[in-house]
Amino acid sequence: MAIRALTSPSPPSPEPGTVLLETERLVIRRYLLSDAPALAEIGNDPEVAIFMSDRFPNPYTVEDAETFIKNLNPQHDPTSPPEYPTTTAVLLKVAPADGRHHTPAGDGLVLIGSLGVRPKPDVFYRTWDIGYFVGRDFWGQGYATEAVTAWTRWMFATWPELLRIEGGRYSSNPRSGRVMEKSGFVLEGVKRSAVVKNGVVLDALLYGLLRSDVEKEST
């Protein structure tokens, strides 16, 4: 079923590397092929993969990352308009002093994670699902909350017809729940025993953020 596309008065460019927004510490932009090695390093960590869906390959190689980034080209994803922020890279403006993290594009930025959005079909077309992950080296420093908070507000501002953003987590991942709650999401329900990940039965928790919730922040 085709997605009913939302329109924007100022849609972002779909070109690879386009910067969508910046926060105090982060840059959120479209992926470049040069991001593949850093993305593979993050995605191949079992402590990250355990919270992902099974669509995410494990192990996660540089070739997997390159294929993923190449397939972000609009011609490979006819279900979403090319200007949608289907999947974006989250980069740290100041590289850690340990020297372990390289800058994929040579611009001094360090890839630390990813944000994605999936538009829902049919009568739910004014709702978007989000997903995100941050590399383990960058946990516990508020980066995920900073990225999700800014990104969701940017999406509501850029697409005025967007009513709702949903996010989910496994019951085994309370850290993700704290990120969403700090970003303004509300826990709306629990699907009991809905997930089997690596042979373990888990609950699935659903969170929602409304445009009206965000609008209240500025009043």
Predicted pLDDT at 99 = 55
Predicted pLDDT at 104 = 56
Taking the C-alpha atoms of residue 127 and residue 113, their distance in angstroms, rounded to an integer, is 23
Partners of residue 48 on adjacent β-strands: none
Taking the C-alpha atoms of residue 147 and residue 174, their distance in angstroms, rounded to an integer, is 18
Partners of residue 127 on adjacent β-strands: 164
pLDDT in tens, the chain (219 residues): 566 889 999 999 999 999 999 999 999 999 999 999 999 999 999 999 999 999 888 899 999 999 999 988 654 456 678 899 989 999 999 766 555 555 555 567 899 999 999 999 899 999 999 999 999 999 999 999 999 999 999 999 999 999 999 999 999 999 999 999 999 999 999 999 999 999 999 999 999 999 999 998 877
Of 16, 4, 21, 15, the closest CA to residue 158 belongs to: 21
Residues of 57-70 as b/e, b for ≥16 C-beta within 10 angstroms? beebeeebbbebbe
Taking the C-alpha atoms of residue 164 and residue 60, their distance in angstroms, rounded to an integer, is 32
Going from N- to C-terminal start, the domains of the chain cover: 19-217
Partners of residue 164 on adjacent β-strands: 127, 210
SS3 (DSSP) at 83: coil
Q: Which residues 6+ apart lie within 8 Å of 13 measured at CB?
A: 83
Look at the alpha carbons of 15, 111, 84, 8 in this order and tell me if their dihedral is positive or negative: negative
Look at the alpha carbons of 140, 166, 157, 19 in this order and tell me if their dihedral is positive or negative: positive
Yes or no: say if 84 and 119 are a contact pair by the CB < 8 Å rule: yes
Select 19-217's CATH number: 3.40.50.720, 3.40.50.300, 3.30.70.60, 3.40.630.30.
3.40.630.30
Partners of residue 40 on adjacent β-strands: none
